[in-house]
Amino acid sequence: MTTPLLEVRDLRIALDAGGRSHDAVGNVSFSIGRGETFGLVGESGCGKSITALSIMGLLRSPLSLAGGAIALDGREIQDLPAADMRRLRGKRIAMIFQEPMTALNPLSPVGRQIAEMFVLHERASWKEAWERAEDALRQVRVPSPERRVHDYPHQLSGGMRQRVMIAIALACGPDLLVADEPTTALDVTVQAEIVDLMAELCAAKGTAVLMISHDLGLVANMCERVAVMYAGRIVESQAADAIFAHPRHPYTQGLIGSLPLLSARSRHGRQKLREISGVVPSIVAYPPGCRFNPRCPAMTDICARDVPMAESLPDGGLVRCHHHG
Amino acid sequence: MADALLELDDLAVHYQVGSRFQGGVKALKAVDGITLDVKPGECLGLVGESGCGKSTLALAIMGLVAPTRGVIRLEGRALGARPDRMETARTVQMVFQDPYASLNPRQTVRRTLADPLRLHGVGDKAEIEARVADMMARVGLRPEHADRYPHEFSGGQRQRIGIARALILRPKLVICDEPVSALDVSIRAQIINLLMELKDELGLAYIVISHDLGVVEHVSDRVAVMYLGRIVERGGWREIFENPRHPYTRALIAAIPDPFRRSAATADRKARGEIASALDPPPGCHFHPRCPLRADVCATQAPALEPIADGHLAACHFRDRTG
């Protein structure tokens, strides 16, 4: 077996609050091959974003890496000195964020923010870097890039800002793009365009994508494999087609069943949506055993007692449930 | 149409923006000529993206912004230029998107629900108490939580409080502005089911404003699609979702990522580019710069909202094209 581009093994992230350390993320393992698109799905607070930040080496207090390994091309990067990590970030792994307005520097023209990448990572001269910045804007289909390079972020629309973020992220041809809810702040028709653009550029350059989202539909369309997180654990991962056709974990089943999907009413008439009872548990009070047990329709005694182990599925996925289907 | 609960006739709300000293005052046509009605017990879905005017429309119906032109009629009575807020509040109420921002953090649930009753002249303490308890039970809140503050509740429970507050005066029409988009995905179904149950139990009419077409299809009897201040298409939910005639409606539907329907099949229906500024909308049909069907006429003439079939209207020069 070839070495995957990114391998996350048994990742643990601790949150320090009120003098205690809480287990925010644990037992998280997954790998992403070269050029592969991988989706990490979950609700707010499930740990998907901090998993992404840990890969970027950007965890800051009160969050910290408490264990596990993150390997890029087989080389562990979780303990790299800050200066080495800085060289990696932007060059080999890049990230785009949900809110482009807060991720961009408001005091610097967007062209400069793109050009900086070439100066820092490829030792280009500023003159050359500005020219390449214009090209980069053209690639993300910003109209009249020769004028737009001089614009400040506030002069651009939300969709244009996210295009600039993509241009910055892909400037140095990274091997892995981490996209954390890249289109959540955008309108739906604009979201569709940005997703298509990202998919197209990454496919053309062979960039692997780790897509983080709460939107199952989006991830299903964009990714080849999907992992579902709940309360700091991966509860299920499968090929995207399989996870929607045959979800194994009761949480995944519940999520998919609870969505009012387009054209469901045309086909089946209006039916009451399937609810997942209860609420997402708080990080300071995760239930013992399986963390989904208080909300689970298949819950039995063992679920409240024993933490379920990850079980491999025949077609390469995994599920973490005592009673999985 | 004497039986309509709410009628809008050529409603327009324009805001004056800018300053006389910097580039001059401009009219922002947030809502620009909308004719619409809602019947008792009906759910109207209102769809559109940011800047389309859907929230301004809601505020106008609530009597919170004054129309520039046109008439709003509630139960047949026209709201004047300065509508009586108290009277409007007994007929129309609103559920807001963000249950964190729309509840007073310093008021208990009991006070949040009892204040409107007191303001509207329910003086009897026992009756107030009974109605608060009844409403809490209806929205699925435990009565012993009446003395808790909003921060003690989860997002889903807070939205239940918001719904209870909207219903406590027994209104006939409730405007739900993005009622689930701020909630966790696993909580949304609970709130949607609750809204639908309450509608049937209490005989409510809803205007559900949402950008989530799955939600709109699920809850609506009729649907209106807005783009930059105008209605571009309206009709029964089945017509809108199964036989959309405006290219913008088609683009919206095509843009929804659906786990069971890959996007490649709908690529040719997608809109290009971005929504224009409402301050400076394109001439003719506002949608033409993004439209896959655009022709010369679209840039010069604004298409009128005209019928295709009974109750199904679209504002498109090519509304007869089905593809």
Q: What is the pLDDT of residues B214-237, one digit of tens each?
A: 999 999 999 999 999 999 999 999
* CA–CA dist B216, B158 (Å, integer): 22
Short-list B262, B213, B182, CA closest to A219 = B262
* CA–CA dist A111, A207 (Å, integer): 23
* CA–CA dist A211, A52 (Å, integer): 9
Chain A to chain B Cβ contacts (< 8 Å) = 137
Locate the domains of chain B by residue range.
221-323
Which runs of consecutive H residues, i.e. helices, occur in B220-295? Answer: 237-242, 247-255
Residue A239, chain B, CB below 8 Å: the answer is: no
Residues 6+ apart with CB under 8 A from A49: A180, A181, A212
Structure tokens at B112: 């949040």
In whole angstroms, what separates CA B207 from the centre of its chain? Answer: 5
* CA–CA dist B129, B116 (Å, integer): 13
Q: Could you tell me if A165 and A96 are in contact, meaning their C-beta atoms sit under 8 angstroms apart?
A: yes
Task: Give the residue from chain A lying closest to B273, CA to CA.
Answer: A190
Q: Which of A216, A222, A266 sits opposite B238 (nearest CB)?
A: A266
* CA–CA dist A249, A230 (Å, integer): 11
Q: Could you tell me if B238 and B222 are in contact, meaning their C-beta atoms sit under 8 angstroms apart?
A: no
* CA–CA dist A190, A185 (Å, integer): 10
Structure tokens at B282: 């394109």
* CB spacing of B186 vs A220 below 8 angstroms: no
Test mutation, A155, A157, A188, chain B, max B CBs within 10 A: A188
Q: What is the pLDDT of residues B158-212, one digit of tens each?
A: 999 999 999 999 999 999 999 998 888 889 999 999 999 999 999 999 999 998 8
Q: Could you tell me if B295 and B321 are in contact, meaning their C-beta atoms sit under 8 angstroms apart?
A: no
Residue A266, chain B, CB below 8 Å: the answer is: yes
Per-residue pLDDT of chain A (325 residues; tens, 9 = 90+): 689 999 999 999 999 988 899 999 999 999 999 999 999 999 888 999 999 999 999 999 999 999 999 999 999 999 999 999 999 999 999 999 988 888 999 999 999 999 999 999 999 999 999 999 999 999 999 989 999 999 999 999 889 999 999 999 999 999 999 999 998 888 888 888 899 999 999 999 999 999 999 988 889 889 999 999 999 999 999 999 899 889 999 999 999 888 888 888 888 888 889 899 888 888 888 999 999 999 999 999 999 999 999 999 988 899 999 998 6
Test mutation, A164, A211, A253, A262, chain B, max B CBs within 10 A: A262
For residue A27, the number of C-alpha atoms closer than 13 Å in the C-beta half-sphere is: 17
Task: Give the residue from chain B lying closest to A189, CA to CA.
Answer: B255
Task: Give the residue from chain B lying closest to A184, CA to CA.
Answer: B181
Residue A271, chain B, CB below 8 Å: the answer is: no
* CB spacing of A43 vs B272 below 8 angstroms: no
The confidence score (pLDDT) of residue A42 equals 92
* CA–CA dist A129, A118 (Å, integer): 6
Chain B residues touching residue A220 (CB < 8 angstroms): 257-260
Using the structure block, give the residue that is written with the tokens 């009012």: A260
ipTM field: 0.82
* CA–CA dist B112, B287 (Å, integer): 43
Q: Could you tell me if A62 and A16 are in contact, meaning their C-beta atoms sit under 8 angstroms apart?
A: yes
Instruction: Please state the three-class secondary structure of A190-212 as a single string.
Output: HHHHHHHHHHHHHHHHCCEEEEE
Q: What is the pLDDT of residues B275-304, one digit of tens each?
A: 888 888 999 999 999 999 999 999 999 999
Chain B residues touching residue A280 (CB < 8 angstroms): 154, 184, 186-187
* CB spacing of B275 vs A189 below 8 angstroms: yes
The sign of the torsion formed by the CA atoms of B15, B275, B312, B209 equals: negative
Here the contacts of A79-88 (C-beta below 8 Å, separation 24 or greater) are A82/A57, A85/A57, A87/A121, A88/A57
Nearest-neighbour CA in chain B from A324: distance (Å):
19
User: Taking 50 as the threshold, does the pLDDT of residue B1 lie above it?
Assistant: no
Short-list A310, A226, A266, CA closest to A42 = A226
* CB spacing of A192 vs B254 below 8 angstroms: yes
Strand partners, A76: A71
Q: Which of B185, B255, B258 sits opposite A43 (nearest CB)?
A: B185
Task: Give the residue from chain A lying closest to B277, CA to CA.
Answer: A157
Helix (H) or strand (E) holding B11: strand B6-19
Question: Which chain A residues in 156-185 lie under 8 Å from chain B, judged by CB atoms?
Answer: 157, 159-160
* CA–CA dist B265, B38 (Å, integer): 35
Test mutation, A187, A223, A230, A274, chain B, max B CBs within 10 A: A187
* CB spacing of B49 vs A261 below 8 angstroms: no
Chain B residues touching residue A216 (CB < 8 angstroms): 185, 259
* CA–CA dist A45, B185 (Å, integer): 12
Q: Could you tell me if A195 and A183 are in contact, meaning their C-beta atoms sit under 8 angstroms apart?
A: yes
Chain A residues touching residue B157 (CB < 8 angstroms): 279
Task: Give the residue from chain B lying closest to A278, CA to CA.
Answer: B187
Using the structure block, give the residue that is written with the tokens 């033409």: B288
Q: How confident is the model at residue B271 (pLDDT cuts 50, 70, 90)?
A: confident
Task: Give the residue from chain A lying closest to B221, CA to CA.
Answer: A270
* CB spacing of B192 vs A273 below 8 angstroms: yes
* CA–CA dist B295, B293 (Å, integer): 7
